[in-house]
């Protein structure tokens, strides 16, 4: 059944779905791998525990990362609703515009995550390389979603 649904999606919309998967992978890498830890220390017989911080989800950046993830999921859901066999939805605006708007919002959220990480009060001294990897994957997925949604929008404008 999944192959039948996937066959109904055009090439640009397939790349939007791939970009959404990239956003998900970037979010997972950022949440679980982009961390730094400090071991506990013992000073004059007193042990002080260490800590672990996820740079990707520190501060308000986590809110925009979650919003970007929700947007990527929404794009996949909208694609599914378009091609599902029992769905007959009257869209309030052209489908390509809806997909482009969602994809653009995901890209904006990814860029805001990066900007908030750069402008943290404490700076990014000691930030792990996986933080930058997560940012590249997250923003790259959002950029792919937006670019191919824009291409789909251009195609829909020429068809009309």
pLDDT tens column, 98-145: 999 999 999 999 999 888 887 764 566 667 788 889 999 999 999 999
pLDDT tens column, 70-98: 999 999 999 999 998 888 888 899 999 99
pLDDT tens column, 26-46: 999 988 887 777 777 777 777
User: Which pTM does this prediction carry?
Assistant: 0.84
Q: What per-residue confidence (pLDDT) applies to 76?
A: 95
Q: What's the rounded Cα separation, in Å, for the pair 58 and 121?
A: 11
């Amino acid at each position: 059944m999944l192959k039948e649904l996937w066959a109904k999606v055009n090439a640009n919309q397939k790349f939007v779905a791939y970009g959404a998967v990239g956003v998900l992978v970037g979010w997972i890498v950022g949440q679980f791998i982009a961390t730094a830890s400090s071991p506990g220390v013992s000073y004059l017989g007193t042990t002080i525990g260490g800590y672990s911080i996820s740079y990707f989800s520190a501060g308000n950046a986590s809110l925009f990362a979650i919003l970007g993830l929700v947007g990527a999921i929404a794009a996949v859901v909208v694609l599914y609703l378009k091609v599902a066999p029992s769905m007959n939805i009257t869209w309030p605006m052209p489908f390509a515009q809806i997909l482009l708007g969602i994809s653009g919002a995901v890209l904006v959220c990814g860029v805001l995550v990066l900007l908030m990480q750069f402008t943290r009060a404490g700076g990014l001294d000691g930030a792990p390389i996986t933080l930058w990897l997560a940012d590249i994957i997250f923003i790259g997925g959002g950029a792919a979603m937006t670019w191919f949604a824009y291409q789909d929008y251009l195609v829909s404008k020429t068809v009309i």
